[in-house]
Amino acid sequence: MNLESNIASILISEEQIKDKISEIAKQISIDYEKSDLLMVGVLKGSMVFMSDLMRAMNINTKIDFMCVSSYGASTKTSGQVRILMDLREPIDGKDVLIIEDILDSGVTLSYLVDVLRARNPKSIAVCTLLDKPSRRKSEVQLKYRGFVIPDEFVVGYGLDYAEDYRNLPYIGVLKPEVYEI
């Protein structure tokens, strides 16, 4: 399959992503300079962003992952969140930074923040590459935001449709005929 033939337009270029990651990493490095930071990646979409972000930081960080879902195979959230994979270690007393690829409805991320807050971290904050505020159903406090985007179905740079398109080096708008079957 030629992935790029299904892209209507490039919304955010590879170069823009690199520049924004550098900017965010610099601020995280300052903010957590004297901290024992734990970055929690929300799988699978955050994997690419989190990898590039932590390599751009100049502080030590530990990492862990969670896999949560409220979408299933749909393009819209079901509103019901399920934890498919939990953290491997306790987070009591740790500074936790949740790394997400996209903040859309906020349902999943709001649930995740509440779950992790109940585990008594020293602090908890959220970093997302993409923010789509027009679709918000639950409020989420963001400490770090990459790009605010319009209500388009986007793929690439870790974001997928039916597990495809994650490897594109940019954020692209998927042609509606691909997912409106």
- Check if 86 is active-site: no
CA separation for the pair 126, 99 (Å, rounded):
6
List the beta bridge partners of residue 127: 99, 144
* CATH classification code of 14-152: 3.40.50.2020
pTM of the predicted protein model = 0.91
User: pLDDT tens for residues 124-155?
Assistant: 999 999 999 998 999 999 999 999 999 999 99
Q: Is the dihedral of CA 163, 83, 127, 78 positive or negative?
A: positive
pLDDT tens per residue across span 30-87: 999 999 899 999 999 999 999 999 999 999 999 999 998 765 554 555 567 888 999 9
Amino acid identity of 54?
M
Residue 78: predicted pLDDT:
53
What number of other Cβ atoms are within 10 A of residue 121's Cβ?
A: 19
Compute CA 75 distance to the chain's CA centroid, rounded to the nearest angstrom.
16
106 with 137: CB under 8 angstroms? yes
Q: φ, ψ for residue 35 (rounded to 5)?
A: -120, 160
Pull the structure tokens for residue 100. 């997400």
Catalytic-role residue among 52, 95, 101, 104: 104
Tokens of 54: 């932590």
